[in-house]
């Protein structure tokens, strides 16, 4: 199921950019999963650029595009804000992230249910627009108002291991934070 969540992220983050219809399909899949697997198909890679969209307080963002100058070779650290959709789940401001997630809309974060199971919204604070958690300064914190673990999540098998966090206030999209 984690693979399914990663695939859903790929669809939103790369192939469809900020398409709200696709995000709605993801939410529908999270809450109403199919009972059978669809056949696997292979599609040629897309060569078009993701459209620039407006979101989060009127800021422009190009969703699903890494802010990349060079390729990663042999596990080299990413460039600052290379993956602006990445967030950290923390226990509060100043805490080191205990799990990660991805921005899927201005108020929604996709993460793993094993990171949120048994927790209340007040137990999790989102850190975004941050590159180096050991060098405080450029990150922003967001409060979680709701945790939506998949109804069929099973902590013994990790089936349906995904969760959508709803933020209390929208993220303002920028080069450092976007889906």
Please state, in angstroms and rounded to a whole number, the distance separating the CA atoms of residues 9 and 117: 20
Question: Which pLDDT score, from 0 to 100, does residue 5 have?
Answer: 46
With vertex at residue 20, the alpha carbon angle to CA 71 and CA 8, rounded to the nearest 5 degrees, is 50
pTM over 0.85? The answer is no
Assess contact for 43 and 51: CB atoms under 8 A.
no
- Show the beta-strand stretches assigned E in the chain: 52-55, 59-62, 86-90, 99-105, 108-111, 125-128, 140-149, 163-167
Question: How far apart, in Å, are the Cα atoms of 44 and each of 10, 15, 41, 47, 83?
Answer: 14, 12, 10, 9, 23
What does the DSSP 8-state code read for residue 136? T
73-97 confidence digits (pLDDT tens) = 667 777 777 778 899 999 988 888 9
Q: Is the pLDDT of residue 6 over 80?
A: no
Name the more confident of 111 and 23: 111
Question: Which pLDDT score, from 0 to 100, does residue 47 have?
Answer: 39
Name the more confident of 100 and 10: 100
Assess contact for 116 and 90: CB atoms under 8 A.
no
Please provide the average confidence, as pLDDT, over all residues in the chain: 73
Q: Quick one: pLDDT band at residue 138, thresholds 50, 70, 90? A: confident
Question: Which pLDDT score, from 0 to 100, does residue 31 have?
Answer: 55
33-82 confidence digits (pLDDT tens) = 544 444 444 444 443 344 444 455 555 556 666 665 555 566 777 777 77
Question: Which pLDDT score, from 0 to 100, does residue 82 have?
Answer: 77
Name the more confident of 83 and 157: 157
| % of residues, the chain, pLDDT over 90 | 38
Residues in the chain: 179
Q: Is the pLDDT of residue 118 over 80?
A: yes
Number of H helices, E strands in the chain: 3, 8
């Amino acid at each position: 199921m984690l693979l399914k969540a990663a695939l859903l992220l790929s669809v939103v983050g790369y192939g469809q950019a900020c398409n709200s219809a696709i995000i709605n399909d993801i939410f529908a899949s999270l809450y109403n999963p199919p009972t059978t697997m669809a056949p696997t198909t292979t599609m040629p890679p897309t060569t078009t650029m993701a459209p620039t969209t407006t979101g989060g307080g009127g800021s422009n963002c190009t969703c699903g595009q890494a802010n990349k100058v060079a390729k990663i070779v042999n596990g080299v650290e990413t460039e600052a804000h290379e993956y602006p959709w990445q967030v950290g789940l923390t226990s509060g401001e100043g805490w080191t992230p205990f799990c990660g997630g991805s921005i899927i809309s201005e108020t929604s974060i996709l993460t793993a249910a094993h990171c949120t199971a048994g927790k209340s919204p007040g137990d999790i604070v989102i850190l975004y627009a941050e590159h180096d958690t050991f060098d405080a300064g450029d990150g922003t914190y967001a409060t979680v108002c709701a945790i939506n673990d998949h109804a069929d999540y099973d902590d013994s098998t990790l089936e349906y291991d995904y969760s959508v966090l709803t933020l209390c206030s929208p993220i303002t999209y920028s080069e450092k934070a976007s889906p």
